[in-house]
Amino acid sequence: MPSRVFRKTIVLEFSGNNMSNYYNMPKLPTENSPKVEIFVDDKPVMVPGDTNLLEALKAVGIETPHVCYHPYLPVSGNCRQCLVEQEGPRGRMLVISCYTPVTPGMKIYTPASSARVKNARKATQEFMLVNHPLDCPICDKAGECTLQENYMEAGQNESRLRPEYGKNYHGNPEHQFIDAKGQLRGGKHVDIGPRILLDEERCVQCDRCVRFMRSIAKDEQLQLAGRADHTYITTFPGEKLDHEYDLCVTDVCPTGAMTAKYFRFQKRVWLLSHTPTISMDDSLGANIWLDHADGRIYRVMPRCNPEVNRSWLSNTSRLAFQQFDKNRLPAIDASAIQISGGKVALVAGGTCTNEDLAALKMLKESLGDRAELFGGSLLKVGAPDGIAKSGDPVANREGLKLMGFADVAELLKRAGEFSNLITVNADLYGEDASAAKALDKISNRIALSAFDDATAKKAKVAFGIRHWSEVQGTMVNSLNILQKLSAAPTCPDEKLAPAYEVISALAGNKFGSACEAFKKAREYVPAFADITYDAIKSTGKLLGGNA
Ligand code: SF4
Ligand code: SF4
Ligand code: FES
């Protein structure tokens, strides 16, 4: 039976029978959760009443070590690391807190009062580490590894392994084998797909990666195979792990088993600084961390925002950073930007922030009726993928609408009317060279751009500005959430300025900061009127709402 058909059969059978491995998504507490009283270590506490015990305890500051539980994956309860004791009709029983619902009046015991819980967690940890390598010094996960954290909290065992036995299980490099389909299984370096290398030896069989591919990516490419301590993670025979979201398995993997090829051995994670910002390649505006050191971005990680991208990030958004410092335009003297007589088309690309748009509006006002505002892109708008992309490549589409910019398609129709074209991070020639040909009619073309792209090459003057990863500012995403960008200190040339600074200077009223530019944006957009720049939270502000 072909593997894909086989896989579908399994899915149908399991989901039809509601069998194990097809668990429910955890119900996470919200600010509207009802509060109920429970007793933790004989003390009464008020906790969210509509969630699991692990989340409820977390809400009152009690962290419970866990490995297989992930707030955005179905609960499978297989690691048994999150044990607590619960008082029941038959006395105190060990239960897993990740799959035990909160009920009013329940009595729970944590290691703070229960030696049994403490010992059970310690034993679970020891069991999990029995076949685990001593790889921390060379492991990419070191510094953000769940096993390391749990070891400090719940483990700290002296090893009881006898070296003469060695390891005899799936991960032992000596036990790597080739299956009947010619595929390498087990061992230290398993090339599991184009972007991911599996260190099978470090896997603790939590099956988070399996659940991610099954329930979030909805393309079941990973499975646990084998039995007991020979269990291993693998793909279907002859197939690879290859999906637009496959790098998310390196995030959900609590260990250094799933490693991203692009980041392997590049940098110790504790040497990275983290800048919270927004991915400006799509109008959902996935929340991200730019992880950088020595003025260079090493990786881009999803930043959890329950309303936007949860903990997920597409490979496209994640790997885009590899081009951020390539093919950059240099800063030149602003006096090179000369606007001649006749009409002026001011064009904002999709990565322009609200601050850039406010500066362009101000420039239009300074030029009077001969200037018009256009915005957007010539790229096609796709469909939302339901994970972390809306499909619209114009990140700040809503900002353009709120500021009253006409679509660039309108400019293409009326290009002959204009004598000046100023594009800001809008690579129209690069997006669709034949459609953009209409712009050849405009004689004085000026490009403000981070990159020496096709539009910059066609321009009379090409002026280098900062990339969106290097600026502060705001954007409005496709869910109408006002989100904040922060600047990573990775700009290749300190002389490069943010677009809003250059444009506002052209308009004769230079903004000294994004905060100042946002004040101007508030004058143009009624929905921003009551919002101050500093009051925008890291998870954004729903316009016309309470987020
Ligand atoms: S996964 Fe890596 S960092 Fe974590 S305990 Fe294992 S070897 Fe150490
Ligand atoms: S590879 Fe990682 S996520 Fe997958 S089962 Fe192993 S430890 Fe868990
Ligand atoms: S976290 Fe609860 S069983 Fe794994």
144-197 tens-digit pLDDT: 999 999 888 776 667 776 665 555 555 556 667 776 666 666 678 889 999 999
479-536 confidence digits (pLDDT tens): 999 999 999 999 999 999 999 999 999 999 999 999 999 999 999 999 999 999 999 9
Residues 242, 263: Cα–Cα separation, whole Å? 17
Residue % of the chain over a pLDDT of 70: 90
| Minimum CA distance residue for ligand 2 atom 2 | 253
The proportion of the chain whose per-residue pLDDT surpasses 90, expressed as a percent, equals 82
- The model carries a pTM of 0.92
Q: Which of 81, 147, 198, 268 to mutate to test the pocket of ligand 1 (most atoms within 8 A of CB)?
A: 147
Closest ligand relative to 249 C-alpha: 2
> Is the pLDDT reported for residue 277 higher than 70?
yes
Pocket test for ligand 1, best of 67, 128, 132 (most atoms within 8 A of CB): 132
Let me know: does 184 contact 190? Beta carbons within 8 Å: yes
Output phi, psi for 44, to 5 deg: -75, 135
Q: Number of H helices and number of E strands within the chain?
A: 15, 24
Return the pLDDT at 152: 83
pLDDT at 5: 39
On the question of pLDDT at 230 being above 80, the answer is no
pLDDT given at position 12: 37
Residues near ligand 1 (Cβ within 6 A): 132-133, 135-136, 139, 141-142, 145, 147-148, 202, 255-256
From ligand 1's centre to the CA of 241, what distance in Å? Answer: 22
pLDDT at 249 exceeding the cut of 90: yes
Query: How much is the average pLDDT of 44-52?
Result: 97
Can you list the alpha helix ranges (DSSP code H) found in 341-427?
354-367, 397-402, 408-413
User: What spatial distance separates the first Cα and last Cα of the chain, rounded to whole Å?
Assistant: 50
Q: 67 alpha carbon to ligand 3 midpoint, in Å?
A: 6
CA of 142 to the centre of ligand 1 (A): 6
Amino acid at 302: P
| Residue that the structure tokens 């096993």 belong to | 147
What CA–CA distance (Å, rounded) separates 391 from 164? 56
* pLDDT value, residue 223: 94
Pocket-forming residues, ligand 3, beta carbon under 6 Å = 66-69, 77-82, 96, 98
Q: For residue 430, what are the CA distances in angstroms to 285, 455, 456?
A: 22, 6, 9
Nearest residue (by CA) to ligand 2, atom 4, is: 209
Asked whether 62 and 47 are in contact (CB, 8 A), the reply is: no
Structural tokens at position 27? 């119900």
- Write down the pLDDT at residue 255: 97
Which residue lies with its CA nearest to atom 3 of ligand 3? 77
| Bridge partners, residue 276, by sequence | 289
3-state secondary structure of 324: coil
Burial 218-255 (b: 16+ CB within 10 A, else e): eebbbbbbeeeeeebbbbbeebbbebbbbbbbbbbbbb
Given pLDDT bands bounded at 50, 70 and 90, which one contains residue 104?
A: very high
